[in-house]
Amino acid sequence: MDFKGKKVLITGGSSGLGKATAAMLAKKGADVLITGRDDQKLKDVATELNCKALVLDMNNKGAIKGIAEEVLSVLGGLDILINNAGIGEFALLEELNLDAFERVFQTNVFGLAMLTQALLPTLKASEGDIINIASTAGGKGFAYGSVYAGSKFALRGMTQCWQAELRQHNIRVILVNPSEVPTAFNVADRTEKELSDGKLTPTEIAHTIVSALEMDKRGFIPEVTVWATNP
């Protein structure tokens, strides 16, 4: 795929792997729109990367349809949707509460699905691509992970359903599973975690996303998992 002029939406694009992916695609000539919850941070990143920005909190159920319409108004279409926005909460079974499930699933599953649904007619018209960012937690659970891993297992299953539904429309739906990457998704003040020797950085995941999209449209990678070589 030649990215020049391609219209791209990246949710959660103001930091971490979303920002790294936006930077890589913008450098390749794509017209990139990023979303996030912090208006000023979005503006600063959009200026830095020479891309567009819209405020979106995936937990705001009423905002999804409106933001989809605004995305299409700003971009004038859509070729690539990268569903990257995600949050996590962690607790032992005896400490779980429904509010945590609702917050995490609204962002990681429900809001993601409803945003994709709202943009689907445009993606069908453009025979576009959908990238869903899940996690290695979507393939193996862990202690304290009921809420987060549950949401990523759900996203993995949902992605497989979309693949079955959308291949006939020449829409590639690709699941990307990073192992641990320094992010701000579980940090109260939304600051980025420090990079760590041996562990993945957002750049490796951005490279994976871009490489999967660059494949000729006659083929696609249904799922790709990225591990640090020697963490």
Radius of gyration over every alpha carbon of the chain, rounded to an integer in angstroms: 17
d(CA 19, CA 128): 21
CA dihedral of residues 13, 15, 17, 20 (deg, nearest 10) = 80
Instruction: Return the percent helix, strand and coil in the chain, to nearest 5.
Output: 50, 15, 35
Q: Which of 3, 105, 110, 148 is catalytic?
A: 148
d(CA 27, CA 155): 29
Half-sphere exposure of 140 (CA within 13 A, CB side): 4
d(CA 193, CA 111): 25
Q: Is residue 148 among the annotated active site residues? A: yes
Residues labelled as active-site residues = 148
